[in-house]
Amino acid sequence: MRLLLVEDSERLRATLDLGLRREGFAVDLAADGPTGLRYARNNPYDLIVLDLMLPGLDGLTVLRELRAAGNETHVLVLTARDTVEDRVRGLAAGADDYLVKPFAFDELVARLRALARRKFVRKDPRIVLGRLTVDAAERRARHDGETLDLTPREYALLELLALRQGEVVTRLEIEDALYSERTLPSSNAVDTAVCRLRAKLGAVEGGPQIRTRRGLGYVLELPGS
């Protein structure tokens, strides 16, 4: 999942950046409102974490401009403003969720995972693919109860393909979901990631398979489908 974090506190921004990347998110950073708005307009993010007290352009204005332009990316407002009036204003401006500082990092991640499932119209974090289960809450894939040995990026790729099971996912969509602007992939990075994940799935009896659609992308299918 690709995420934009717009937060002016350098210390909090760095801490969240490190934690979210460890959780498997591809994170882009902005320290002020104008930069955050520009990033959000020009990149296909899955999620945006947006502070309200920002230099240059406040978070509510950023949010209103995004919604007015038709941007429907799920936005979690992260702020020290904790009155009912503040929360109502944020939600009315188009926020999908609201978390007040100080907060527990685990709660932030749980809320972001819930918003990500909402994007794909799912409430159950588990995706069952034959004898393989992808658990988005725990970020693990299990075959008959045994956890597959996947790197964070391999898991992220599997989750993306699983959420769109049966659909063709293009190389560009995979790049956008797995890499941030700071980790731009090499020309064959997607092919390499798919190849490695395909090899690991090949060892899973009764599990899904990654098919290549030449000139289009990749699709995750169950055997026999």
Residue 16 has pLDDT above 90, yes or no: yes
**Confidence at residue 185, expressed as pLDDT on a 0 to 100 scale:** 63
Which residue range(s) make up the domain with 54? 2-119
Q: What's the pLDDT tens digit per position in 86-101? A: 888 888 888 999 999 8
Tokens standing for 129? 């693919």
Do 92 and 158 fall within a single domain? no
Cβ-count burial of 32 within 10 angstroms (0-12 exposed, 13-18 middle, 19+ buried)?
middle
Beta-strand runs (E) in the chain: 2-6, 26-30, 47-51, 74-79, 97-100, 126-129, 132-135, 140-143, 146-147, 209-213, 217-221
Do 112 and 8 fall within a single domain? yes
Do 84 and 18 fall within a single domain? yes
| Domain stops at, among 64, 96, 119 | 119
**Confidence at residue 49, expressed as pLDDT on a 0 to 100 scale:** 97
Residue 82 has pLDDT above 80, yes or no: no
Tokens standing for 86? 């503040």
**Confidence at residue 152, expressed as pLDDT on a 0 to 100 scale:** 87
- E strand or H helix at 60: helix 59-68
Kindly give the pairing relationship between strand 132-135 and strand 126-129: antiparallel
Peptide bond into 125 cis (omega under 30): no
Do 30 and 101 fall within a single domain? yes
Do 45 and 140 fall within a single domain? no
Tokens standing for 137? 């809450």
| Domain stops at, among 56, 91, 119 | 119
Do 12 and 104 fall within a single domain? yes
The one-letter amino acid at 53:
M
Do 95 and 180 fall within a single domain? no
Q: For the packed helices 189-202 and 171-178, what is the interaxial angle rounded to 10 degrees?
A: 90
Do 37 and 58 fall within a single domain? yes
For Cα atoms 217, 219, 220, give the angle at the middle one, nearest 5 degrees.
Answer: 150
Do 81 and 136 fall within a single domain? no
The rounded percent of the chain whose pLDDT value lies above 70 is 95
| Domain stops at, among 86, 119, 152 | 119
Average pLDDT over residues 169-196: 82
Cβ-count burial of 203 within 10 angstroms (0-12 exposed, 13-18 middle, 19+ buried)?
exposed
- Interatomic CA distance for residues 219 and 168, integer angstroms: 5
**Number of structural domains in the chain:** 2
The rounded percent of the chain whose pLDDT value lies above 90 is 49
pLDDT bin (cut points 50, 70, 90) of residue 139 is confident
